[in-house]
Structure 1
Amino acid sequence: MKCRGRRLKSCCCCVDLRAGCCFLALFEMLTAVLGFMVGEESRLLLIGRSAYLLHFIGSIFLLMSSFLQIELLVIIYLGTNIFHLIFCTVFLIDYALSCHFCVFESIPSLVTLVSSIYFWMVAFAYLRRLQWEHNPENDD
């Protein structure tokens, strides 16, 4: 059975998906640690911090999956990334509305949220490739 449809074949147009997921997981872990430090005076501080913590754990699972090639770990990362995108967006909107001089904290967090969408697509493409490789019915 051949894999049909459009697929993302590499990360950043030049890096293999497996290596790209490894680098993206390390980058996501760094941004999650930085996300813990954002919004000291926000009303939704607990939601934002828990979303960053959960995303940090999901990034560890993606890093482990890039070495062990286990599909379940990528699925866990995809779920935690969706949780991160939803709740951290709400957290950042609330923080930006309540703080007038917090541009220097909100803009980098917003950039990492937007880049998380691309990272989710790369991890999903890696999951599809793992599923295709582990399928006993494929032609290759």
Structure 2
Amino acid sequence: MKCRVPRLKSCCCCVDLRAGCFFLALFEIFASILGFFVAEEGKLFLIGRLAYMFHFIGSIFLLMGSMLQIETLVIIYLGTNIFHLIFSTAFVVEYAVECRFCALETTPVYITLIVSLYSWLVAFSYLRRLHWQNDPEYDE
């Protein structure tokens, strides 16, 4: 029995997956640049910045992968986005506990994490479509 991951046929119900990956990559590049300036001091803050740096690089790979239709670049983005989701979530939880759950400062980070999770699903669906287009025998 195979585990089925949700498949998206379009981004935001009306945009092609390729164009959706392009625009989500632009948004995530902007969000990761803002994430560089969120942290202050400490080991977990350094890990948060490192996660945003990897996410910035991965988003550039997604941007190039959506323009050039290269599967390897999309796979690199998926890996860096998982790294970003794990370590940025730990960073946000630590920051929220340290500042006694200051919602105003952590709300933008929560929103970018939700958008990153959706972007991961869109990029994964785009990768599956690229597999299907490049290999006629690929059928999961």
TM-score (norm 2): 0.89
In the alignment, residue 88 of structure 1 is paired with which amino acid? Answer: S
Identity within the alignment, % = 67
**Which string of whole-angstrom CA distances, capped at 9 and with x for unpartnered residues, describes residues 82-118 of structure 1?**
0000000001110111113743221100111012111
Q: Sort the Cα spacing of 1:57 and 1:5 in 2 relative to 1 into closer, same or farther, 3 A.
A: closer
In the alignment, residue 67 of structure 2 is paired with which amino acid? Answer: F
User: Between Structure 1 and Structure 2, how many residues are aligned?
Assistant: 136
Mark the runs of 5 or more structure 1 residues left unpaired by the alignment: none
TM-score (norm 1): 0.89
Structure 1 position 137, deviation (Å): 3.1
Q: Sort the Cα spacing of 1:130 and 1:106 in 2 relative to 1 into closer, same or farther, 3 A.
A: same
Contact in 1 for aligned 2:48/2:88 (Cα 8 Å) = yes
Give secondary structure in 1 for the equivalent of 2:79. Answer: helix
The structure showing larger relative contact order (alpha-carbon pairs under 8 Å, at least 6 residues apart) is 1
Q: Sort the Cα spacing of 1:114 and 1:42 in 2 relative to 1 into closer, same or farther, 3 A.
A: farther
Aligned to 1:62: 62
The runs of 4+ residues in structure 1 deviating greater than 6 Å are none
Query: What is the RMSD of the two structures over their aligned residues, measured on CA atoms?
Result: 2.1
Aligned to 2:77: 77
Aligned to 1:131: 131
2:110 equivalent to 1:121:
no
Contact in 1 for aligned 2:39/2:45 (Cα 8 Å) = yes
Aligned to 1:107: 107
Mark the runs of 5 or more structure 2 residues left unpaired by the alignment: none
Q: Sort the Cα spacing of 1:39 and 1:104 in 2 relative to 1 into closer, same or farther, 3 A.
A: farther
